[in-house]
A = this chain, B = another copy of it.
Amino acid sequence: MNNPKQETKLKVRPACESCGVRALCLPVSLDGEALSLMDDLVKRRAPLKKGDYLFRTGDKFKSLFAIQYGSMKSYGLTIDGKEQVTGFHLTGEVLGMDAIDEDVHHCNAVALEKTEICELPFSALEHLQNEVPSLQHDLNCIMSREIRRDHHMLLMLGSTTVEQRMARFLLNLYERLQKRGAENNILNLSMTRQDIGNYLGVAFETVSRQLAHMQDEGILEIKNRNIHLLDVDRLEAIAG
């Protein structure tokens, strides 16, 4: 009853069209037949609500997950039980690739807002790789991209000043949104200051202060969780 229009729309669209996978790496190579094979493979899922888990540490690995709409965070637990955020994942990105090797998930993935997911059962995906050789290259590309993204993050965290880490963090989000076709300079942070701080190895008060300082400098404008980037060049200069 509520929002029937969207419901219909979702059902009519082929799953793969809407899940963002095509926009990642697969599109270049799949012809009509292969595409329909992919469509058969992809599973739709009920949307996750904020706080819902996609998988948890120790869960058996069965599928990769592409974020169709929304955002997630992944985190592990330290020995003393503290949460340690290892990444934020946006629309169009793929989760679960770190589990292929040992067949077990090594982190928890939780939705930061209402999030729609496409499930890609991995064994079927690997079978399809045999039929469609180009798919194999595509998957290599997706994983390569994830590796590069992580290296980028490592680069981000390997800085001594918090100002620099913060700038790199914001630019990183900005670039990822640009790649997905965002047309404005507004970052809608779905994660808390606490999550950001945890991720950057910084107290959340410091995150808050750092953002306030950047606002004073005219680099950005804060409206709750919406960050409007006013001066990307300055931000890049700070990032180094």
How many residues of A are counted as interface, with CB atoms below 8 angstroms from the partner's CB atoms? 55
Known: A147-B150, A154-B86, A239-B78. A159 touches B201 (CB 8 A): yes
User: With the chains together, A140 CA to B102 CA distance in Å?
Assistant: 11
Q: Determine whether A130 belongs to the interface, using a CB cutoff of 8 Å to chain B.
A: yes
Interface segment among A1-9, A36-44, A131-139: the answer is: A131-139
Query: So how many copies of this chain end up in the complex?
Result: 2
User: Does A153 belong to the interface (CB within 8 Å)?
Assistant: yes
Main secondary structure of the interface of A (DSSP, over half): helix
What chain B residues lie within 8 Å of A142 (beta carbons)?
101
Given the known A-B contacts A201-B158, A201-B159, are A144 and B240 also in contact in the complex, defined by CB atoms under 8 Å? no
- Give the shortest distance, in Å, between A121 (CB) and chain B (any CB): 14
Q: What are 19 A-B pairs with beta-carbon distances under 8 A?
A: A78-B239, A79-B239, A79-B240, A87-B154, A97-B144, A100-B143, A101-B142, A102-B148, A106-B151, A126-B136, A129-B133, A129-B136, A143-B143, A150-B153, A154-B154, A154-B157, A158-B198, A160-B202, A201-B201
